[in-house]
Structure 1
Amino acid sequence: MKETLELILLHVSQSADIDKGELDVASRLIIHSACRGLQITRAGIWLYDEKQSLIKCKLLIDRGNDSNYESLVLTRKDFPHYFEALDTERTIAAHDALTHVATFEFAEVYLTPLGISSMLDVPIRHRGKMIGIICCEHQGPAREWHADEVVFAASLADLYGRAISANERADYEAKLLEVNQTLEEKIIKRTSELESAQEKLIESEKMAALGNLVAGIAHEVNTPLGIALTSVSNCKDELKHIFRDFENEELTEKGFRDFESVCSEGLNLAETSLTRAANLIQDFKRTSADQTSLEIEEIALDEYIPRVCNPLKPMLRKERVELSIDVTPNLVITTCPGIIAQLLTNLISNAQRHAFGSAVNNQDNKVSVTCYENEQSIALSVADNGKGIPEALHKKIFEPFYTTARDKGGTGLGLNILYNLVHQKLNGEITVQSSVNDGTRFIVTIPIER
């Protein structure tokens, strides 16, 4: 190859414009270099459509007329011989373009009007597939394309393929950066919401359980956030590796596809984890709103308790659990009815879900609700004849986030919320009596003064 052509190729290959991802700048550098090296005034980049039924001019520079053309389209239907030659994916060196088997179809509509006598078309390949051509057009007397000129043009086409890869990488990096920024914004937003929820809990809870609750919230939210951050970090590492392979010209199609697969999986995992954290925070906000909106009024418990329990009976019957209610007649108390309803609903639902297990029980499954006056207080209890709770867990079950059903969607907040409601809203006590295989009884004691 002539030294002048080698110097031009060296200049183009070392140019930062090829690898910085700005395809338009790289395209113009390559086409101007083709014109300078081949001493021609017209050259352009033409790209296939997806079905390879046509090629469209991406960039055509006519230095003689100082103009660009970027809207030209050639279809397979109109120029079958030319496309048949392109299908071979080889260089078309038409010394006499007016008579060459691949280019004679352009004579009347393109070559003669523009004074084009010779054409040199070299294939552009990307990821092993031909995606278009660089078309070099000589105006004036016909010329013969020499071997070193063909190699020169082909090398420029390879550099264009490299520029496409750089452009795709830049686009991916921009998208990844946007995803990272979005994740960071979500983390900041969710963290802010969590802090707000924690502040409300601090204001309402003045008991020792507060410390455990805050720690539990932080742990439960940090787990999905940690997974999300790890996934994003892994995607960034994968990006560095594939960029290194690209720089070393070791990037393969399989490597790129593996990269895309790993990053897609990682980003999906990050999105799922952040959604889980967001849902958990929403649960806290709803629970807080429910507690603060409760009003105090006088209610007759022998009427109110059955009214709360009756809608739960169909759910219990479906699980073959019998519900019985025993309330002392004319038992009136001034309290928060919403809390009483929440206590009963949660305790009965817990019994239905946890007390009897999944195996068929030979005995009749029963849940009983009783309410009676006891000196200066009201005692409300929910008992079952199920499998019971080991004594070692009697205190643990009231701690936040403790659950034996996390795989079924349990959060471990139910009994902790009830504990706080009873102590802070009702100024009462909640205790548990249970032993293995001997059922469980939750007893809520509410001072009559409330």
Structure 2
Amino acid sequence: MPPSHEFMSELRAAADVLAGPEGLTRYRQLVAEALYRRFQCSMASLWLLREAPAGRFLECVAAFSENPELNAAGTELHEKDFQVYFDTLIRTKVYNSPDAQEDPHLAGLKDSYLLPQGVRALLDVAFQINGQPLGVLCIEQRETPRIWSKVDEVDLRNAASVIGISIARHRNDEQQTSVA
């Protein structure tokens, strides 16, 4: 089976844990690990879009890294600080930066996130449920720039679709169970 098919199968299989006791937390971690393996990147992470009185922000809810000491889990990125990045993600559903430290739209992230994490390249794809933005899948490369291929972008977009569907089904199942 080609790597892209294996990867999608792995993501679909990961959704089986959603019904278990570890549920969503374990699913998110399995997704981050699958992304890391598929893209052979330095770190893969899953971010949720949150609403707050001060505005929207992304919160990293799961990450898998080649270096466990460099991990984005728990990090928050606020829309007001990174407007162009957020606008691009919402409008096009993808943010591709082969050299993030030189990307003028990510300048606000440089000192607070890119340099401390050693991030040189990133490819982010937004995922949604019923047309509403829910979060972002992020793959990153440390130390050297990286040109992400069209296949990488397509596979990450497909992963975003699978993940959005899996989470929507999970939410639907939870609502059905709470009604019963």
Q: Is TM more than 0.5 here? A: yes
SS of match in other structure, 1:145: coil
5+ residue gaps, structure 2, are none
The residue aligned with 2:168 is: 165
Indicate the residue corresponding to 2:99 in structure 1: 96
Gapped regions of structure 1 (runs ≥ 5)? 178-450
**Counterpart for residue 10 of structure 2:** 11
| One-letter amino acid of the structure 2 residue matched with residue 35 of structure 1 | Y
Q: 1:129–1:28: structure 2 CA closer, same or farther, 3 Å change rule?
A: same
Q: Which of 107, 110, 130 is the matching residue for 1:127? A: 130
- Aligned to 1:87, the other structure's residue is in SS state helix
Match of 2:65 among 53, 62, 66: 62
Work out which of the residue numbers 145, 148, 156 in structure 1 matches 2:148: 145
1:40 is paired with a residue whose SS is coil
Secondary structure in structure 1 of the residue aligned to 2:81: coil
| Alignment-mate amino acid for residue 93 of structure 2 | R
Deviation at 1:18, TM superposition (A): 6.2
User: How far apart are residue 15 of structure 1 and its match?
Assistant: 4.4
| Residue identity matched to 2:3 | T
User: Which one-letter code corresponds to 2:177 in the other structure?
Assistant: A
Q: Does structure 1 residue 85 correspond to structure 2 residue 84?
A: no
Q: Is the 8 A contact 1:89 1:130 kept in 2?
A: no
Distance apart, 1:68 and its partner CA: 5.2
Matched, 1:114 2:113: no
* Identical amino acids, percent of aligned pairs: 22
TM-score of the aligned structures, taking structure 1 as reference length: 0.36
Kindly report which structure 2 residues correspond to 1:378-397, keeping only aligned pairs within 5 A, or say none.
none
1:73 lines up with 2:72 in the alignment: no
**Alignment coverage as a number of residue pairs:** 176
Partner of 1:20: 19
- Kindly indicate whether structure 1 or structure 2 has the higher relative contact order, using CA contacts under 8 Å at least 6 residues apart: 2
The match for 2:48 is 47
Task: Please report the RMSD computed on the Cα atoms of aligned residues, expressed in angstroms.
Answer: 2.4
Q: Is the CA contact 2:48–2:58 (under 8 Å) kept in the aligned structure 1?
A: yes
CA drift of 1:120 comes to 0.5
The 8 Å contact of residues 41 and 138 in structure 1, kept in 2 or not, is answered as yes
The match for 1:278 is none
Instruction: Give, in angstroms, the shift of residue 127 of structure 1.
Output: 0.9
Q: Distance in 2 between matches of 1:45 and 1:78?
A: 20
Structure with the larger strand share: 2
Q: 1:45 corresponds to which letter in structure 2?
A: L
Deviation at 1:163, TM superposition (A): 2.3
Instruction: With the length of structure 2 as denominator, give the TM-score of the two structures.
Output: 0.84
